[in-house]
């Protein structure tokens, strides 16, 4: 091992990526991505479908070769030491990869055996995971009869039969109800507390806000912002004014007044009565609201708060995170 390799393996980074590029035909799915992820953290990879999140994960997980650029996983060269990397990582995709015709315990025993456990060890490990993920009562039920939340939990359980140093979680709570989503979040927190590094791709802004120590925003294959949730929110202004009109017919007049008084653009929600503006100088808010009152524009409610991650995403990309392009992320 040379000095440079030793340095990389002891610098505390789980992932170091520089200039990752992947091209499919004329589409640059990933266009020069740089990442530095500390060990023992949750790193959020935030972006809409088609942004390049899944392709980046596939490259880092050694499933797809980058066309240019390179990365190091715990100091191991992505291009030259894939076997060493594979021994330390695990990947859970957007959809369950387990056998739906097998029971929960049969799936976990099978995977444990494939990972080198004896039959006795495999059954013990399977029972440990079922208990840890709250699936003991469903152990002998076929997975095809599991709820969505249960399926995601057992899929994550299957990915940590051998606890990985780095776990790639690609859209882990897609389609889950709030209760199931919170259960998965608790599982992720427990894994990180035990020492696992998690790279979490998501288009769920609340999920990134709740879990991630740092967040990278990816758009059209490029990382356009990176930092903690607080840093990203601070980067787009000091506050957000939200105004709810009583009558949609007053929308245009209200926008004109607010933009004149605040000196910033006003965004309109689809209901035509909810207006919002990024406010740099909060002292202008009272004057703007007073002008609405003088013009007899009725307001149902208003608030001045910190920018949300949704506002960050809208400001950085020009679109809301739920405005999805017509692109299949699985193909990118």
Report the alpha-carbon distance of residue 123 to residue 137 in Å, rounded.
16
> What does DSSP assign to residue 93?
-
Residue 328 confidence (pLDDT) above 70: no
Residue 63: pLDDT over 50: yes
Out of 9-13, 82-86, 180-184, 298-302, least confident range: 9-13
**Has residue 94 got a pLDDT over 80?**
no
Range in 9-18, 39-48, 155-164, 205-214 the model is least confident about: 9-18
Q: Which DSSP letter does residue 306 get?
A: P
pTM value is: 0.75
Can you tell me the distance from the alpha carbon of 22 to that of 70, in angstroms, rounded to the nearest whole number?
Answer: 11
For every residue of 176-194, DSSP letters joined together read --HHHHHHHHHHHHHHHHT
The CA distance from 81 to 275, in Å, is: 53
- Which of these ranges, 44-58, 75-89, 116-130, 225-239, has the smallest mean pLDDT? 225-239
Query: d(Cα 109, Cα 257) in Å, to the nearest integer?
Result: 66
130 vs 332: CA distance, rounded Å: 34
Rg over alpha carbons for the chain, rounded to the nearest Å, is: 23
Q: For residue range 204-255, what is the model confidence (pLDDT) as tens digits?
A: 888 999 999 999 999 999 999 999 988 888 777 667 889 999 999 999 999 9
Share of the chain above pLDDT 90, in %: 62
Q: Where are the beta strands (DSSP E) in the chain?
A: 13-24, 27-38, 42-46, 68-73, 76-77, 89-92, 166-170, 197-202, 214-219, 222-227, 239-245, 266-268, 274-279, 299-305
pLDDT tens, residue by residue, 181-200: 888 899 999 999 999 999 99
């Amino acid at each position: 091992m040379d000095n440079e390799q030793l340095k990389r393996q002891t610098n505390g980074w789980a992932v170091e990526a520089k200039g990752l590029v992947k091209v499919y035909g004329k589409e640059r799915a990933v266009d020069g991505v740089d990442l530095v992820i500390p060990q023992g953290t949750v790193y959020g990879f935030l972006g809409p479908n088609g942004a390049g999140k899944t392709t980046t994960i596939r490259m880092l997980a050694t499933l797809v070769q980058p066309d240019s650029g390179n990365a190091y996983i715990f100091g191991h060269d992505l291009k030259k030491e894939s076997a060493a990397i594979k021994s330390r990582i695990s990947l859970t995709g957007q959809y369950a990869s387990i056998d739906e015709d097998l029971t929960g315990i049969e799936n976990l025993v099978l995977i444990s055996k494939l990972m080198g456990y004896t039959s006795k060890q495999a059954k013990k490990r399977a029972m440990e995971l079922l208990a840890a993920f709250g699936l003991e009562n469903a152990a002998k039920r076929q997975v095809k009869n599991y709820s969505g939340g249960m399926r995601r939990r057992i899929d994550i359980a299957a990915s940590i039969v051998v606890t990985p140093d780095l776990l790639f979680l690609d859209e882990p709570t897609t389609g889950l109800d709030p209760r199931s989503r919170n259960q998965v979040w608790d599982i992720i927190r427990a894994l990180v507390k035990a020492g696992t590094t998690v790279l979490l791709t998501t288009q769920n802004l609340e999920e990134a806000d709740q879990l991630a120590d740092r967040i990278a925003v990816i758009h059209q294959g490029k990382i356009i912002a990176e930092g903690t949730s607080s840093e990203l929110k601070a980067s787009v202004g000091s506050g957000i004014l939200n105004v709810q009109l009583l009558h949609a017919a007053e929308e245009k007049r209200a926008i004109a007044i607010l933009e004149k008084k605040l000196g910033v653009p006003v965004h309109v929600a689809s209901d035509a009565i909810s207006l919002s503006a990024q406010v740099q100088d909060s002292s202008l808010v009272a004057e703007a609201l007073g002008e609405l009152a003088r013009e007899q524009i009725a307001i149902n409610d208003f608030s001045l708060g910190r920018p949300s991650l949704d506002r960050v995403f809208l400001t950085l990309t020009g679109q809301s995170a739920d405005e999805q392009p017509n692109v299949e992320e699985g193909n990118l």
